[in-house]
A and B are shown apart, each in its own frame.
Chain A
Amino acid sequence: MEGILLNELSYPVLTVITFLPLAGALMILLLRNTAQIKWLALATTIATFIASLPVYKYFDKTTHLMQFVETHSWIPVWNINYRVGIDGISVLFLFLAGILSILCVTVSWKAIQTKTKEFYISLLVMETAMMGIFVSLNVFLFYLFWELTLIPMFLLIGVWGGPKRVYAAVKFILFMLAGSVFMLVGIIVLYYAGGRTFDIIELSKISYPAGLQFWLFLAFFAAFAVKMPMFPIHTWLPDAHTEAPTAGSVLLAGILLKMGAYGFLRFSFPMFPHAVQMLFIPLLILSVTAIIYGAYVTLMQNDLKRLIAYSSVSHMGFITLGIFTLNQAGIEGGILQMINHGVITGALFLCVGMIYERTHSRMIKDYGGLFKTVPVFTVFFAIFTLAAIGFPGMNAFVGEFLIISGAFKANMVIAAFSILGVILGAIYMVWLYYRVALNEINSTTKSRLFDLDLREIATLVPLVVLVFLIGVQPNILLSYMHVSVEHLLEQVHTTVVSDTNPLYDSAIGIAQYIRELFVWI
């Protein structure tokens, strides 16, 4: 079949890295000893990461085609294949998911004392689901993994979370399900419109009628926008982030939020280019609103985790701004910033989790003057704070630079507003650092504090390395996505669809496909 490169490694590499965590989870099921469970979980995540290394080495950066593709027939009646593969857009997320999963295990080493076995099983199932999303080349398979992320995350928040965990978990799952129901409808319509196939590559080649594109875009948009989350459907995020255990917050911020943006790039852009171009300006406005609104709300938070959670809303706004600029700099910046945000916000949640383990308080007012009590911690915290405000030479600067550069090319006014978000971002992060690290210390907090141990330092160091490495050598990552993004833009900009009234056209289109659906049943 054209449009793909078959797996040239001697073993099914993508299947291995997707299902290795699941295998680990099954083995943990058989164990009783807590120490053994922890070590096995750590070994599994590290093995998964190591297994994924050949992918980055042998990845062909000169083509936009899907690589390492494996195809197996699965449900022939509905023409569903098990097909996995990656291109320049998805490859980096495997890396991020791999590395964050390891850190999630190490940071939970002491923090999780109850139901340890179940915790690590959830974590590993979660890793399988995350990997699965980014390698799926079949919509059915994609949807399966998409929904599979919900269960372990629901458990992580609901069982090991903070005081309001049940509320947060239920809110999380309701929002997610509400969004993905629309996507399910969209997928079914797509199945018929695209000639009865679930194959993403095949579906991307077809030029859909303008009206249908419009409605399908909205259906998929519902699922992706909830996941991102885009303003104004972001309200599940602060609750979920705040109540989740550290590992849960890290995975939420690091990977789950990125799934929405990934969905836009994988589905919306190639399949509904006309709709994307039609909604270009509203989408940019929505992104900038998220940036500024998110930043303002962040400013008034007094809970550490909640503050970082709201800052994610603002940062995700930057990412959507980047990808909806529909130019090379913006989209590359958006993808790069997804990785950066995963690294930085993941690191910030790790930091907060570490300090929370000691003091059992998330309130900013309980802290202050940490610089004198726990200097090692504050140095790490300072590095990640500076990274978060886009300090030059660190990773987020490159991402922000590309995004805003793209935004200025797309629309001057919107780009100017996004600068406001940069300023607010610097204010809330520096202010947070000031309140936590430099102010006067509270004596009860002080008595509980002790500095980071070796395990915790080892957890943070890889992220520090990434912050600086991406900061000065972003090409390591950008070179992976370059050709794929070029191809994506070609798909978006070269489609020619007759310019008709979208509402009118779409009504016909939708009616047609619903009728066909009923005939089939």
Chain B
Amino acid sequence: MDTIISIKPLLAVLVSTIGALLIISAGKNPNLRESWSIIAGVLKLGIVLSMVPTVVYDKKVIEYTLFKLLPGIDISFRVDAFGLLFALGAALLWIATSFYSIGYMRSTNEKFQTRYFACFAVSLSTTIGVAFSANLFTMFLFYEGLTIITYPLVAHKDTLEAKMGGRKYIIYLLGAAKAFLVAAIILTYNLAGTLEFSKDGIFPAIVQSAQPELLYLIFVLFLFGFAKCAIMPFHSWLPAAMVAPTPVSALLHAVAVVKTGVFSVLRIIFFVFGSNLMMDIGVDVFAISLASFTIITASLIALSKDNLKARLAFSTISQLSYIILGAALLTPSAMVGGIIHITNHAFSKITLFFCAGSIYASSHKTEVSQLNGIAKKMPWTMAAFTIATLSMIGVPPVCGFITKWYLVIGAMERHSIAVLAVLLASSFLNAAYFVPIVYKAYFGRENPGEEHEAEDTHDNQNKEIPFIVVPLSLTAIVSVVLGLYPDFIVQLAESIVR
């Protein structure tokens, strides 16, 4: 495969950090400040898009090395199809979220908006950094950076609950990284002599045959160390982090942060271990079992949650494990299913969060039980919500269906009845915790007292806010488009797997 040296990946990473500096400098002028967010977002998307032809159609790789630390350890970027896929989704959704944030933050009168927008921009830098990392060290650097920079966002509200949530967030993510990831990276370096990602794995054959147990251990350390992928039992930071303002939950906890986690795990599976080694040491079975367990358990917990965002959080935990499950099945179709679910889930889940935020901003409702008949007042929001719900359940023609299709085929290729059962059961559970919300919103009878109260207190706020509704409608539409025309993404995923 040809390699091109270009500074573009670095620019893609830096553009939002520079944007953050401009945001801080324009702190006193909200309109100018928000324009910097949007401009940086558009620039970032432009840079990412400009790499698509080279990487996707010419099948080339773009590289850029910033620093060489030790032999085999650099800070360097490499844009391949996998990283590009992730970066595209993140860059697109950042713009959507920027618009949404403007509407949400202003209508709910949040404090410290400058800090909010600045941290948001930097967190995008780190996300793109993870996507374009050429080696484990660079990835680790941006991964840790993302943890630190999102802390102010999670604890944004400055209440006791927000602080507790933030604390749990930082302890889980930083703790797991220190406890497992550092050890895993050092052991990998000792065994392989390099941290550079490579197709089909980096461990030399002699190590593979000599120390399979140690390799098994390293994989387990990686899986738990990237706690952002929220695989059980290291998942409980995710529901706790839902105290953040909704746009944060939307972008970071459905797209950037958690996807960074699963993206990293997939990088490990495909580019550090490689599918042959995974099979040889039998660690794929471990990953499949744990992912399956997480899918079912998280769905069951989601059933019991009345808080809308909490229910969405557990749904996220369950959906993330689909991605890991797909990758760990190691059959071509399953891997494609896992990879495309990164994008599919991103668009659908962000729609759901945007809707939850829209409901909160307009009517200050947070619980599922309060949503009776809300569709009459918020038709756009609930329409988008319904579409995204269908995607989560896996109903055609919305994009979630494509994922499930590939995953089911993958499970059959592997001849695994158990995984097939898990997929079917989880689809049923998805329906069980999402359909009641939709049902209530459209057909539920409003509680008259509550209605009265709402009229009184939020007289003119009960309408949908354009800045909020437009982004969420767009993401919902993209979810459908991805379901109708999955070719681009599926081809991209196949080029990674092949």
Instruction: Enumerate chain A interface residues (CB-CB to B < 8 A).
Output: 386, 389-393, 398, 400-402, 404-405, 408-409, 415-416, 419, 422-423, 426-427, 430, 434, 438, 472-475, 478
Instruction: Please report the C-alpha to C-alpha distance between residue A472 and residue B74 in the assembled complex, in whole angstroms.
Output: 9
Asked whether B189 lies within 8 Å of A473 as measured between CB atoms, the reply is no
Q: How far is the CA of A301 from the CA of B122 in the complex (A)?
A: 34
Cβ of B417 within 8 Å of any chain A Cβ, yes or no, is no
Q: Give CA–CA (A390, B181) in the complex, Å.
A: 13
User: Is A423 a contact partner of B189 (Cβ separation < 8 A)?
Assistant: no
Whether A474 lies near B69 (C-beta < 8 A) is: yes
Would A405 and B186 count as touching, CB distance under 8 A? yes
Decide if A404 touches B175 in the complex (CB within 8 Å). no
Known: A391-B144, A392-B137, A430-B174. A475 touches B70 (CB 8 A): yes
Q: What 0/1 pattern do residues 48 to 78 of B give for CB contact below 8 A with A?
A: 0000000000000000001111100101000
A409 surroundings in chain B (CB, below 8 A): 190
Interface pair A398/B182, CB less than 8 Å apart:
no
Taking chain A's interface residues, is the majority helix, strand, or loop, or is none over half, making it mixed?
helix
Give complex CA distance A402, B140 in Å. Answer: 16
> Would B170 and A430 count as touching, CB distance under 8 A?
yes
Number of A-B contacts (CB under 8 A): 66
Report how far A461 CA is from B80 CA in the complex, Å. 38
Interface membership of B183, Cβ < 8 A = yes
Q: Chain B residues near A408: list those with CB within 8 A.
A: 186-187, 190
Q: Which of B145, B167, B182, B189 has the most A CB atoms < 10 Å from its CB? A: B182
CB distance from B122 to the nearest CB of A (A): 14
B56-111 residues with Cβ-Cβ distance < 8 A to A are: 66-70, 73, 75
Which B residues are in CB contact (< 8 Å) with A392?
137, 140-141, 144
B183 engages A419 (CB within 8 Å): yes
Closest Cβ of chain B to A382, distance in Å, is 9
Chain A residues, Cβ within 8 Å of B148: 386, 391
Does B179 touch A at the CB level, under 8 Å? yes
> Distance (Å) between the CB of B196 and the closest chain A CB?
16
Is there an interface contact between A426 and B69, defined as CB atoms closer than 8 Å? no
Contacting pair B69 A473 (CB below 8 A): yes
Task: Give me 20 A-to-B residue pairs in the complex whose CB atoms sit less than 8 angstroms apart, sorted by A's number.
Answer: A390-B178, A391-B148, A392-B141, A393-B141, A401-B73, A401-B182, A405-B186, A408-B186, A408-B190, A409-B190, A419-B182, A423-B178, A423-B179, A430-B170, A438-B163, A472-B66, A472-B69, A472-B75, A474-B70, A475-B69
Using Cβ atoms and an 8 Å threshold, which residues of chain B touch A398?
69-70
Distance, CA A398 to CA B185, complexed state (A): 12
- How distant is the Cα of A474 from the Cα of B171 in the complex, in angstroms? 29
Closest to B167 in A: A434
The secondary-structure label for the interface of chain B is: helix
> Do residues A478 and B67 form an inter-chain contact, with CB atoms below 8 A?
no
Nearest 10 Cβ contacts at the A-B interface: A392-B141, A472-B67, A423-B178, A426-B178, A393-B141, A405-B186, A419-B183, A404-B186, A423-B179, A392-B140
Closest chain A residue, CB of each to CB of B155: A438
Contact B67 A423 (CB under 8 A): no
Instruction: Among B66, B68, B141, B175, find the residue whose CB has the most chain A CB atoms closer than 10 A.
Output: B141
Q: Which residue of B lies closest to A405 (CB)?
A: B186
Given A386-B148, A405-B186, A408-B187, 13 more pairs with CB closer than 8 A? A393-B75, A393-B145, A398-B70, A401-B189, A402-B70, A405-B189, A408-B190, A419-B179, A419-B183, A473-B67, A473-B69, A475-B68, A475-B70
Which B residues are in CB contact (< 8 Å) with A405? 186, 189-190
Residue on B nearest A472 in the bound complex, by CB: B67
With both chains docked as a complex, state the minimum distance between the C-beta of B240 and any C-beta of chain A, in angstroms.
16
A400 contacts across to B, CB distance below 8 A: 182
Smallest beta-carbon distance B190→chain A, Å: 5
0/1 string, B148-192, CB within 8 A of A gives 1 = 100000000000000100010011001100110011011101100
Closest to B140 in A: A392
Which of A389, A419, A422 counts the most B-chain CB atoms under 10 A from its CB? A419
